[in-house]
Amino acid sequence: MSGLEDMRWPALSMEAVEADVVLGVALMKPLVLICSQDAELYLFLSHILGVDGFTSEPAGGVKEALALADERELQAVVLDCGPASATGSTICARFKGEPRTGGLPVIALIAPGAEDQHLDLLKAGIDESFVRPFAPAKLLDCLRMKLALPKPGSNGIENGGWISCGDLEIRLDAHRVRGNGHEVHLGPIEFNLLRLLLETPGKVFTRDELISAAWPANIHVGVRTVDVHISRLRRALKAASPSSVIRTVRSAGYSLEWPDG
């Protein structure tokens, strides 16, 4: 099997991260980080993810994976756990231990003969694991369940309602967000932040309140981390719902302003 060093990753990555533009609104595809030393496996996974509406980015090791988490707005992580590699649990533990990535779903693909890694992965906080070979549909269904995304062509869960503020809407049971009727894809942390802000527009939430609502209880989160995720949320909403403004209240926190009119 070819190694990652034989692949022209920059070209692949640029194609993979292109956004769809619908009626002038940029709708970013959910980005999945694939951690693998196997270029053939990456190409296979990136293909099935692309067909199902995801995009992907490769990483060969712990440092590269964490660096990409800083640079890109990841939605989930898929780990290739081979018999001769113990990096899967290490990467998982690092992601789960970082405030900015602690809420990301991490899924392990365990190669035959590497089943003994399962316990280490559980200790590291893995969300789901599959032993290869596996049906691609199982991975896709798992990702959509973890991210609460509807299947392609589906309108999502029909019971329950939308919470709205002007042209911005959030549907809690289906984990969906719309601006002017167009889907807005958010990571788990940004979704939880928006949910809190939108449930009480105009109220100023402290950073501690935002941390309690958006991050797992066992994760230490600093003030700067909250600011970074609020900035990401603002960027995601800017194109789809320009009238919805997240206001910074100096020394207090953040609030979602009522749209004008």
Q: Could you tell me how far CA 36 lies from the centroid of its own chain?
A: 18
Q: What CATH number has the domain bearing residue 138?
A: 3.40.50.2300
- Taking alpha carbons only, the member of 138, 140, 141, 132 closest to residue 36 is 132
Q: CB of 104 within 8 A of CB of 188? A: yes
The pLDDT value recorded for residue 22 is: 32
157 belongs to a structural domain = no
Residues 6+ apart with CB under 8 A from 190: 229, 232, 233, 236
Q: Is residue 156 part of a domain?
A: no
Domain edge (last residue) among 113, 147, 181: 147
Could you tell me if 132 and 212 lie in one domain? no
* Residue 31: count of CB within 10 angstroms of its CB: 20
From first to last of the 261 residues of the chain, give the pLDDT tens digit: 444 434 333 333 333 333 333 333 334 678 999 998 888 888 888 888 887 888 899 988 888 888 888 888 888 999 988 776 667 888 888 888 888 888 889 999 988 877 778 888 888 889 998 888 888 888 888 888 888 775 554 433 333 466 777 777 887 766 778 887 778 888 888 888 988 888 778 889 999 899 888 887 767 888 888 999 999 898 888 877 777 788 898 888 999 886 554
SS (H, E, C) the chain: CCCHHHCCHHHHHHHHCCCEEECCEEECCCEEEEECCCHHHHHHHHHHHHHCCCEEEEECCHHHHHHHHHHCCCCEEEEEECCCCCHHHHHHHHHHHCCCCCCCCEEEEECCCCHHHHHHHHHHCCCEEEECCCCHHHHHHHHHHHHCCCCCCCCCCCCCCCEEECCEEEECCCCEEEECCEECCCCHHHHHHHHHHHHCCCCCECHHHHHHHHCCCCCCCCHHHHHHHHHHHHHHHHHHCCCCEEEEECCCEEEEECCCC
The answer to whether 43 and 4 have CB atoms below 8 angstroms apart is no
The three-point CA angle 243-245-249 to 5° equals 155
142: in domain: yes
Domain boundary among 117, 147, 177: 147
pLDDT for 107 equals 93
The pLDDT score that the predictor gives to residue 160 is 45
Same domain? For 43 and 16 the reply is: yes
Burial of 26 (0-12, 13-18, 19+ CB in 10 A): middle
Q: Give domain status of residue 158, yes or no.
A: no
Q: What is the pLDDT of residue 260?
A: 52
CATH code for the domain in which residue 216 is found: 1.10.10.10
For the chain, the domain total comes to 2
30 & 139 share domain? yes
> What are the beta bridge partners of residue 170?
163, 177
Query: Residue 135 domain-assigned?
Result: yes
- Residue 17: give the domain boundaries: 4-147
Structural domain contains residue 153: no
Residues 90 and 13 in one domain: yes
* 154 domain residue, yes or no: no
pLDDT at 206: 92
Same domain, 142 and 170: no
Whether 61 and 37 share a structural domain: yes
Are both 64 and 136 inside the same structural domain?
Answer: yes
* Same domain for 167 and 143: no
Q: Strands 31-35 and 76-81: what pairing?
A: parallel
pTM for the model stands at 0.53
**d(C-alpha 3, C-alpha 39), whole Å:** 6
